[in-house]
Chains A and B, each alone.
Chain A
Amino acid sequence: MNLRVDWWHETNVAESPRARWFGVFPRVPRVDIGLPKTVSAPSPRAGPAGHRWLAENLIQEAASLDAYRNGIEDARAIYSAGAYTGPTGCVDLSSHRLNDPMPPTRTAGRSPSGTSQHELGGDDAGQVIPLWKRLAYLLSAPSNLMLSERGPVEWPSSFFDYQRDGIRALLSADALLLADDMGLGKTIQTIAAIRILTLQGRLERTLLVVPAGLVVQWRKAIHAWAPELRVSTVQGPQRAWQWAAPAHVYLTSYETLREDFTSNPQSPPRKVTWDAVVLDEAQKIKNREAEVSRKCKLLPRRRAWALTGTPLENSVDDLASILEFVAPLEEGATPERLFPGPALLDRHRTLQLRRKKAEVLPQLPPKLVSEVGLALIGAQRQTYERAEREGILRLREQGEDVRIENVLELILRLKQICNFCPATGASAKLDDLVERVRTLTAEGHRALIFSQFTDERYGARAIAEQLHAFQPLVYTGDLSTPERDTVIEEFRRSTDRKVLVLSLRAGGQGLNLQEASYVFHFDRWWNPAVEHQAEDRSHRIGQVFPVNVFKYVCEDTIEERIDEILRRKQSLFDELVDDVSIDLRSRLSSEELFGLFGLAPPATSKPDAQAGAPRDYAAMTGIEFEGHVKTLLERRGWKVETTPPTKDGGVDLIALSSDNLGLETVVYVQCKNTSTAVGVEVVRQLNGVLATKQPGARAMVICPAGFTEEARRFARGGRIELWDRHDLFQREAT
């Protein structure tokens, strides 16, 4: 026994109480006192030598643990119930590990209800929970105390009541879909819950999976809200040791997880059972067939929390896919498959916690949304009308062979002209925007400008170029993660930067940009949920000014016609299912799409008339070939951005997929319409470019003339795909 008698000693040892009737004769009363013994949690840092296991006692009362916490008076009543002898001892609680697997024990009794099995280490209802573990749980600081402003844990700022409710929900739930409106602080609620559970010894290893662009933001948030937690950020080439580093929280991106989760059971993300797995922007796994969705759902975990402001973007299948993740999963088990139906809705109601801004944050400054109708004039109007006329003519000429994709291509083209006239560069939107930005910056405000296009002709770069007087910054998908972080940091830090121009897809999610109180949608997106997400970059906690949102719509153009349909469908959807939104592109009927141009859809949908016929690539210029590849990729569901001519070591296009594949996949495309086969130098150069990009990025070289054998050898088995004439024909035909 390890006795520490150096800091205390007994005095008056000789003195003893005196018996009532023996007066002065001292007598030592006979007492039964338990011999002090010590027990300790089975930990590498276990206490002094001689510690040993205490008898495993059974918890016999259902719901007793909850009652213990709250019923001190009740406890006193039980004390007086009778005399008994019991164990004596000392439990070393500083080294307890509540999630340790149970040692082999005799089994009997019942588990405490209302308490997660894993919190006390019980694997099934019949397993014994040792005393040290029960004490470690019961004696940990109460969550309410840790959450309170005057409690032992210091928080950088106080929580709103609804945030406390959210944290309590996370603390008590093994599985939760936290679907608060964007900007209500899902991040800090999650971090606070992780911090409390870690301090209570109930979490040791947490895996946080977030979009690549938000890794730095999460790391900073953890540093601010849980400074004592060790964070291992898993990204880049040093991932092996980053996974192995001792940490409370492992922070990684979906792309990295997809790469590192392999079929090998010893691959880092799957070789441990995580105490908690948190998916931020969980709509990333809405497509259950996507690789990253399958891998996220296979992560062994004791707690599963999913965070998203838009759990239902497109269809109930999205929700089903997300809810498949929201459940603990034992190692080697298969996640339950869910299907749309009443059972799914029941589960959804049970697992989801959703609060809306209007309900919980009446004090948040209002968001004022205005639609700005503009008339195209002069050259821009002429160009637009000519393009629409010719486009409709071409659609008519195709007759029964016309496809919905042809209509979408025309819409895209017309939307570009609504932004900027390709012939003169004139832009009604830009003229209005410049005036508004001038006024708002003079008043000390700053602005975010979103566009679906990123290029220097119709999109973000063109806008930024025209607004150079306001020292704009540009945030697009072709920036590497460090470049993106630098842009955001610069915008936050420097008040001289009045404007941030963002591509809707890259900048519409997860960023906190309360520094700006004006938001402009330079062009409209198909999905209102995506627009709302973008607006909520600014309209969130911390915003002190009313947020003004301006949506540009050019009158008497395709934009106005689509806007009408969007509005009609959105109001219908609002009535049915809250404020979540659908991807209207997938819901626009053929009649509606063709009706935009006064056309009727063909009786049958046939493949592209030109698909079967070989194209004459040699007759195309480099730009035309690039445009052709871009169209081809877009038809296959990719969002394609054109890069500036001098950028990225020859990369011509950046293809992003998220709608169709369910995750952010980036492919850097180099288009080579040369007469001779492409050599290995080109592939090598692209490989070098790829190394500087985010993990998971892929690349592609497309050349109808083919590739040298050396080039093919170099690309084999790597992340670069080579497409020649045959590959192109094959893709065009399908």
Chain B
Amino acid sequence: MAALFLVSARGEPLEFAYNRIENPNTFLWRQVDLRRYVERKLTTSLLQVCSRVPTLLLCLADEIGSELFCQDIHVSVPVGRIGEPLKASAHAATESAELLDEPADVHVFWFPGTPASESVERRLFSRLSLHGLLMEPFQRASVGLREVYSNGRASESP
């Protein structure tokens, strides 16, 4: 399952898109390939329903591989994969890595490149980072997903 959670620079929730995918016959496929395929399908389904154009896309590096936005899906906004050094997956050559001071020991892998220092994207990223909003919204998104899908009580849309 996955969610696309749009927040403002102050952390206010703007939009929450969610979806889930199931593959009944996983044994047939190479896990790496399957994972990549599923990530792409899920992501495109979320981007389809998203009604706004974000300024910046951030995702967790240990959940999303570099291929997704470097090869499979092209977006017109900078993408940052965030992760702790030990958890972060190896990044593609086309990504540029950055070690953050705040929060400490967090890596960001940028694609197509690190936003320019005075760009809107950079300022937004700095603000999110400064105000504790880099990782925190992922926790909220996780809570939201649980609310939607937990305990099998969620039903199909009417």
Contacts and interface: CB of A to CB of B under 8 A. Distances in A.
A237 to B, nearest CB: 37
A611 interface: no
Contact of A69 (B23, B24, B37, B143): B143
Interface string A323-348: 00000000000000000000000000
B120 interface: no
A715 interface: no
A16 B28 CA distance: 13
B140 A139 contact: yes
B158 A53 contact: yes
A90 B25 contact: no
B22 to A, nearest CB: 5
Nearest to A21: B28
Interface string A35-47: 0111100000001
Given A139-B140, A145-B11, A152-B132, 7 more contacts: A7-B75, A8-B47, A29-B29, A33-B45, A88-B19, A135-B147, A138-B143
A91 interface: yes
Interface in B84-133: 130-133
A688 to B, nearest CB: 50
Contacts of A16: 37
Given A72-B142, A94-B13, A85 B153 contact: no
A153 B51 contact: no
Contacts of A142: 136, 140
Contacts of B16: 90-91, 93, 135, 139
A8 B15 CA distance: 18
B143 A141 contact: no
A36 B22 contact: no
A48 B10 contact: no
21 contacts: A3-B48, A8-B76, A29-B25, A30-B24, A32-B22, A33-B19, A33-B22, A33-B45, A48-B51, A55-B154, A69-B143, A75-B145, A82-B152, A88-B19, A89-B157, A90-B15, A92-B15, A135-B148, A141-B10, A141-B13, A152-B10
Interface string A1-34: 1111111111110001111100000010111111
Most chain B CB atoms below 10 A, which of A47, A93, A152: A152
Interface string A50-94: 001111011011000000110010011011011111111111111
Most chain B CB atoms below 10 A, which of A5, A69, A78, A94: A94
B71 A11 contact: yes
A150 interface: yes
B62 to A, nearest CB: 14
Contacts of A417: none
Nearest to A39: B157
A31 B23 contact: yes
A533 B5 CA distance: 49
Nearest to A11: B74
Contacts of B33: 17-18
Given A29-B28, A58-B153, A87-B157, A139 B75 contact: no
**Size category of the binding interface on chain B:** 35 or more
Contact of A11 (B23, B73, B157): B73
A140 interface: yes
A91 B28 CA distance: 35
Those 8 A-B pairs whose CB atoms lie nearest each other, nearest first: A17-B33, A90-B17, A152-B11, A86-B154, A75-B146, A141-B11, A90-B49, A93-B13
Contacts of B25: 29-30
Interface string A523-553: 0000000000000000000000000000000
Contact of A87 (B11, B150, B154): B154
Given A10-B44, A72-B139, A89-B157, A94 B146 contact: no
A81 B151 contact: yes
Given A19-B28, A75-B146, A89 B17 contact: yes
B60 interface: no
Given A17-B33, A47-B51, A78 B19 contact: no
Contacts of B75: 7-8
A174 to B, nearest CB: 23
A17 B50 CA distance: 27
Contacts of A32: 21-24
Contacts of A131: 147-148, 154
Q: Chain B: interface secondary structure?
A: mixed
Contact of B149 (A10, A86, A146, A199): A86
A299 interface: no
B149 A79 contact: yes
B76 A88 contact: no
A3 to B, nearest CB: 5
A136 interface: yes
B13 A90 contact: no
B152 to A, nearest CB: 4
Interface string B66-90: 0000011111110000000000000
Contact of A78 (B14, B50, B73, B146): B146
Contact of B155 (A17, A57, A69, A91): A57
Interface string B18-49: 11111111001110011011101110111111
A17 B21 CA distance: 16
Nearest to B70: A11
B130 A150 contact: yes
A135 B14 CA distance: 11
Interface in A575-629: none
A708 interface: no
Contact of B1 (A8, A37, A79, A90): A79
A22 to B, nearest CB: 9
B141 to A, nearest CB: 8
B41 A84 contact: no
A53 B35 CA distance: 32
A93 B151 contact: no
Contacts of A75: 142-143, 145-146, 150
A537 B42 CA distance: 61
B45 A36 contact: yes
Contacts of A91: 15-17
B70 to A, nearest CB: 10
Contacts of A139: 5, 13, 16, 140-141, 143-144
A121 B25 CA distance: 42
A55 B73 contact: no
Contact of B51 (A2, A78, A140): A2
Contacts of B40: 10
A29 B34 contact: yes
Contacts of A53: 158
A236 interface: no
A79 B28 CA distance: 24
A88 B18 contact: yes
Interface string A127-152: 00001001110111110011010111
B146 A4 contact: no
